[in-house]
Amino acid sequence: MIGIAVLGAGRIGKIHAANVAANPKAKLVAIADPFADAVNPLAERLGTEAMSDCMAAIERPDVDAVVIGTPTDTHVSLLLHAVKLGKAVLCEKPIDLDMAKSEEAAAEVERQNGRVMLAFNRRFDSTFAEMRKAIDAGRIGDVRQVIISSRDPGMPPESYVKTSGGIFRDMTIHDLDIARWLLGEEPVTVTAVGSRLIDPSLRQYDDYDTAMVILQTASGRQAHINNCREAVYGYDQRIEVFGATGMLVQDNLRPTTMRVWTAEATDAREPLLNFFLERYTQAYRAELDAFVDALSDDTEMPTTVRDGVKALRLAECAVESVRTGRAVTV
């Protein structure tokens, strides 16, 4: 059994803790969070120990690995402490909002041969993973274009926006990772536009609510990412991959496949799954299981801190492109 402590008992910590508890090869040894109101009920529900000190949780002898789901500005110190003690880590995205700090952390992890996986959950979504498999199987020939539409159901609260690092580092980062993964080549240029169509006050945070990014690889492969913080019809998550001999499309998921014909509407379907916790339930579970499998089988981590650095670098380029109005070389 791999002893795991989950750090952070907020939105994402709750998901990870439940998934650790459900994994037959892992034991949820503790959940740590300085806020008792967050950690106590969760630990009680999952039958594990609640702790207030994340560093102390990392240091426990019965902890082999930690899952970091604390606020972004705490990731690097927790990550490096765990690696120093030889503990494996599943770290939430982004590593940090600062590029240099993320680079240094990744270099330190690599220097110490740390076992660190970066939590890019969408790669573990079964529908998107099927696209990667179809590309690998040669079903659409060489990839030419990847088109990702990724829109949230509604604006996050101002308290979140303030510390999020902006739409590109907070939201687009998932799509940038998926684009790298499906393109199969590293982007070399980034062009982006950003608008404030929902909330003009985002200007004070140098942030945007609506954005488009275009990536191009050295051989000329292209990716186009559409983001918006508000889609009135729900959480919109679609991908198209166009290749030399065909195309792959993954549409939004619904609670069931039911379609309804009435006098009011034909072929009506249920609303989209509401937000990331519902839409990516299976992906979070598969991500955690992949982390545990990599540890128990002693195989490569499926995603790495380097993936985290590369996605953040693309986000930085997007920010620069919006500011300058130019294509930015990665």
Ligand X SMILES: NC(=O)c1ccc[n+]([C@@H]2O[C@H](COP(=O)([O-])OP(=O)(O)OC[C@H]3O[C@@H](n4cnc5c(N)ncnc54)[C@H](O)[C@@H]3O)[C@@H](O)[C@H]2O)c1
Distance of closest approach, residue 84 Cβ to ligand X, in angstroms = 18
Write out the H or E segment, with its range, that includes residue 103. Answer: helix 99-111
Are 30 and 50 contacting, i.e. CB atoms less than 8 angstroms apart?
A: yes
Question: How many CB atoms are located within 10 Å of the residue 263 CB?
Answer: 5
Per this entry, what is the length of the chain? 330
At 31 the three-state DSSP class reads strand
Q: Compute the C-alpha angle 102/107/112, nearest 5°.
A: 130
69 binds ligand X (CB under 6 A): yes
User: Could you say whether residue 9 binds ligand X (CB under 6 A)?
Assistant: yes
Residue 82 makes CB contacts below 8 A (sequence gap 6+) with 58, 66, 68, 88, 89, 114
> Could you say whether residue 102 binds ligand X (CB under 6 A)?
no
Per CB under 6 A, the segment of 31-39, 44-52, 240-248, 307-315 that binds ligand X is 31-39
Between 17 and 135, CB nearer to ligand X: 17
Q: How far is the CB of 123 from ligand X (least distance, A)?
A: 11
Is residue 222 within the footprint of ligand X (CB under 6 A)? no
Among the listed ranges 64-72, 105-113, 189-197, 220-228, the one in contact with ligand X (CB under 6 A) is: 64-72
CB of 37 to ligand X, least distance (A): 8
Assess contact for 45 and 61: CB atoms under 8 A.
no
- Residue 181 vs residues 123, 136, 241, 318: alpha-carbon distances, Å: 8, 11, 12, 18
By C-beta, is 36 or 247 nearer to ligand X? 36
Q: What's the closest the beta carbon of residue 75 comes to ligand X, in angstroms?
A: 6
71 binds ligand X (CB under 6 A): yes
Residue closer to ligand X (CB basis): 8 or 243? 8
Q: Restricting to residues 252-281, name those near ligand X by CB under 6 A.
A: 276
Residue in 74, 77, 189, 281 binding ligand X, rule: CB under 6 A: 74
Instruction: Please report, as residue ranges, which positions from 119 to 138 form the binding site for ligand X (by CB under 6 A).
Output: 119, 121
3-state SS class at 110 = helix
Q: What are phi and psi of 10, to 5 degrees?
A: -90, -150
Binding site for ligand X (CB under 6 A): 8-13, 33-35, 38, 54, 69-72, 74, 92-93, 119, 121, 276
